[in-house]
Structure 1
């Protein structure tokens, strides 16, 4: 009897012990992947160089959770854009293994870095990483980070060219929002009123700076800067696109337009002195912020107007993340890039004003909560129609931009555009040929 009582009282204790053991085992299984990840990179440190901006700040603030999950230590250094470019040029040219991860401007630096063997192709990492959902990135943004068929960088922030306009002026004049370049020119002409301090159109007029914003005019008229390794500045389509830009600036732009980069052009529009303005979507806050712009509540956003080839604005990767080919920690570097460009981090970054390249985030109400409603629709439409470059696709891109920009300056000064295009095309072809021999 006594033995039976002891046995009965022991059963609940044993059962409880068994449940606790099973629960502990299940808990260990839940944490197994985190522990394995932490063990994989334990005692490793990678160095990351980034440019200053919302994306870098979000990544910096979120680093403790990444380090906790992976065991990897990250030495993140943030520089101004100019400092970053200088530091990368010195480090990479010296075949330094530092940094492991770098932030770069794909359309300015990717071809040079690839040609010199400074950055690691990422195709194999993406192919093996089933959880990454690489197909979620917009195609034209990936075009910006690809060279000669190799993926060399992952998009971090994007830009599209859009049309900014004054809603109140169009309404007062009974004009629709321009959907074509013909309609844009017609509306700019009707709203151009210099005696009263109002100009029909404003955009960049500085020789080098204007090229990126000129690009969408060229694409929408069916042209391009080049076709492969053949310069195309003298084609009828490209000349037609350049003529559109020249005519708008020359006939309806403000005085001193040839000295304007984006800050000056945005300043003219944001202060209520221009009816239309075309530039990158990423700088929209200059017009939308009431503290910066007295017309903030009157600003509208529209898809870039269509030319003879339709509406073809650029949709590019402004900044991307890449792996140093000389890094001794490439797997750890990819782990960081995977995390920094994951849906979660892109969502956080976009909520802070950094426009990302993941379609799922742009289609998520949380991902677009900080942007004007009309702006969101324009961006989504632009992503679908976008072209993945906004400047000549060569190594010597600065020199090529000067050649293209000089054509616009000559047009603004009244010189013959076709004649200017003939010379510019020959000069640009020389650059292409020279770069191919390097």
Structure 2
């Protein structure tokens, strides 16, 4: 890593989609080394009763691999104070999402340990743990070092999404969930309450559909993770699932077909081009006032609050996705490289970066904090009302699968779902085809 340079801010949008992440395709890599501004809150490096002493406190240099979001940028701005108080130097590799996943995979595959701490998602665990043996089990390592990570303050729904084979492999940082964003002004004018059932959602968007000024809704119809995640909520909501209890594909069920047809219905009340919407396009459309209702990832909150990009400030809120079934979880956490050459310092950084003080300070950035002490704080909820829906949803939020074949499975299903939205296949045809593809993919694992 070259000498430290000033942080160059990347676009404040949700990460770009890389459907081939983990396979090392030849894509553009935009490497940016970053260190920035100031930390407002002190931290305690070790828990009370720790066996560590000042002479054995972590030191040296670590490298943190990450991709920019509003919440990440807020964290990066606080690193200098961490360095000052801990004596640990943090080199930050802040790159685009595609490049980040490629760098992580290459580093773990080669076992070089170039990146000590890096962005980890629940869907990565099968590849990073089972295939590449590249993530350190944090619960085991922290215990061996006498370090208390304060896990009791984390929502169970957040921790479960980063556990694999009984161990915690990453510390939750951004509790990204899929929530219903709705225009409070338009719902009030129409005499509607936020939908609490799937049928109410479908009826509300039909009633609020008033093109071209406002559409009732939109869907993330883009091939890859966007339409896959869009579909998940409706699949689970209609009582379906991706797999049977014994782990076999369950795509060609009546509930799955009903969920696909729900998306077809939603597309009728959506802007033109919705079949190509990813999460950024969906958030932009809502922020520009083009739609009344949309299911968005909660890490888009920052863009909805930004006066330079949002026309709906003060006119929107979140509500939980209708029903009580699981909803899709897209959050990310900080994992430790099993091949790191400075694990004590890496653990200290992870503990600080997920501390209550740091996470609470990032809420104004639009973050989705995973700690109960923040989500249960009524003062915080009153000041930042969108967090109420997040607090209600975290226990339902679920990683779709941690299968090492995750991206292959997403490719196969999402291409067919997009074909339905664009009128090229029926729901039944699409699901039967995807079922066959999934069976073939999983038979090769």
Task: Judge same fold: TM > 0.5, yes or no.
Answer: yes
Cα 1:99–1:38, aligned 2, differ >3 Å: closer, same or farther?
A: farther
* 1:335-414 mapped onto 2 (5 Å cutoff): 335-364=348-377, 371=384, 373=385, 375-384=386-395, 386-389=396-399, 391-412=400-421, 413=423
Is 2:278 the counterpart of 1:261?
Answer: yes
1:240 partnered with 2:240: no
Contact 1:112 / 1:395 at 8 angstroms: preserved in 2?
Answer: yes
What is the alpha-carbon distance in structure 2 between the residues aligned to residue 285 and residue 338 of structure 1?
A: 24
Deviates more, 1:96-105 or 1:211-220: 96-105
User: Any idea what the Cα deviations from partners look like across 1:307-357, whole Å, max 9, x if unmatched?
Assistant: xxx35323442x211111112322332222122212222222334333221
8 Å Cα contact 2:136-2:169 kept in structure 1? yes
Which shows bigger deviation, 414-423 or 152-161?
Answer: 414-423
Q: Displacement of 1:69 after TM fit?
A: 4.5
Residue of structure 1 equivalent to 2:125: 110
Match of 1:119 in 2: 135
Deviation by residue 1:150-169 (Cα, 9 ceiling, x = unmatched): 32111111211111122222
1:89 is the counterpart of 2:100: no
User: How many Å apart are 1:224 and its aligned residue?
Assistant: 1.9
- Contact persistence 1:140–1:315 (CA under 8 A): no
Number of the residue aligned with 1:327: 340
Tell me the number of residue pairs that the alignment of Structure 1 and Structure 2 aligns: 393
Q: What secondary structure sits across from 1:301 in the alignment?
A: strand
Return the alpha-carbon distance in structure 1 between the equivalents of residues 214 and 419 of structure 2: 25
**Contact conserved, 2:155 with 2:372, CA < 8 A, in 1?**
yes
Superposed displacement of residue 365, structure 1: 5.1
351-360 or 182-191, larger mean C-alpha shift = 351-360
8 Å Cα contact 1:203-1:262 kept in structure 2: no
Asked whether the 8 Å contact 2:58–2:348 carries over to 1, the reply is no
Give the equivalent residue in structure 2 for 1:314: 328
TM-score by length of 1: 0.81
Q: Is the 8 A contact 2:416 2:425 kept in 1?
A: no
| Residues 66 and 118 (structure 1), Cα distance of their counterparts in 2 relative to 1, 3 Å cut | same
Distance in 1, Cα, partners of 2:110 & 2:319: 46
Relative to 1, partners in 2 of residues 1:381 and 1:350: Cα closer, same or farther, differing over 3 Å?
same
In 2, the alpha carbon distance for the partners of 1:134 and 1:406 equals 39
Task: Name the residue aligned to 2:294.
Answer: 277
| Partner Cα separation in structure 1 for residue 149 and residue 255 of structure 2 | 40
Q: Considering fraction of residues, name the structure with more helix.
A: 1
Contact 2:116 2:336 in 1 (8 A): yes
Q: Which runs of 5+ in 1 are unaligned?
A: 1-31
How far does the alpha carbon of each residue in 1:386-426 deviate from its partner, in whole angstroms, 9 at most, with x for none? 2321x443223222112222332233216321232122112
CA shift in 2, pair 1:239/1:124, >3 Å: same
Give deviations 1:157-206, integer Å, cap 9, x for gaps: 12111111222222222223211110111111222233x43322112111
* Separation of aligned partners in 1, 2:314 and 2:275: 29
Q: Is the 8 A contact 1:161 1:314 kept in 2?
A: yes
Q: What TM-score does the superposition give when structure 2 sets the normalisation length?
A: 0.80
Structure 2: unaligned runs, 5 residues or longer: 1-47
User: 1:233-287 CA distances to partner (integer Å, 9 max, x unpaired)?
Assistant: 11222322222222211x2122222121122222332222222111112212333
Any conservation in 1 of the 2:381–2:388 contact (CA below 8 Å)? no
Q: Please give the secondary structure, in 1, of the residue aligned with 2:175.
A: strand
Once residues 362 and 111 of structure 1 are traced to their aligned partners in structure 2, the CA distance between those partners, rounded to angstroms, is 29
Is the alpha carbon distance of 1:63 and 1:188 closer, same or farther for their aligned partners in structure 2, counting shifts above 3 Å?
closer
- Given candidates 417, 430, 433, the residue that maps to 2:440 is 430
C-alpha distance in structure 1 between counterparts of 2:366 and 2:312, whole Å? 20
> 1:40, 1:368 → 2: CA distance?
40
How does 1:122-271 map onto structure 2 within 5 Å? Answer: 122-127=138-143, 129=146, 131-194=148-211, 196-208=212-224, 209-227=226-244, 229-249=247-267, 251-271=268-288
Aligned partners of 1:33 and 1:392: how far apart in 2? 38
Q: Distance in 1 between matches of 2:364 and 2:120?
A: 22
Greater Rg by CA: 1
Structure 1: how far apart are the matches of 2:155 and 2:177? Answer: 12
CA contact (8 A) 1:37 1:70 kept: no
Conservation of the 8 A alpha-carbon contact between 1:144 and 1:316: no
Change in Cα spacing, 1:63 to 1:174, as seen in structure 2 (3 Å) is closer
